[in-house]
Amino acid sequence: MDGDRIDGLGRRAIGRWCALDADWQGSLVALAIAAAVAFGVEIP
C-alpha cells in the first residue's frame, strides 16, 4: 500500500518536473544544492 503511494507520488513529481521549462528546473536544482549545503554537505 505504502509502496503504491510512494510510487504514485514519485510519478506525479517526475510528471511536474518534466512539465517545467529549463529555467525553472535549473532554479530548483540550485535551490536543492543550496539546501544540501545548508544541511552541511560540502562540495569539493
Please state the φ and ψ torsions of residue 39, each to the nearest 5 degrees: -85, 10
Could you say whether residue 24 binds other proteins (CB under 8 A)? Answer: yes
Cell of 26: 535549473
For the chain, give the number of residues: 44
Could you say whether residue 8 binds other proteins (CB under 8 A)? Answer: no
d(CA 26, CA 21): 9
Could you say whether residue 44 binds other proteins (CB under 8 A)? Answer: yes
Could you say whether residue 6 binds other proteins (CB under 8 A)? Answer: no
Which residues of this protein are in contact with other proteins, per CB under 8 A?
11, 14-15, 18, 21-27, 29-31, 33-34, 37-38, 41-44
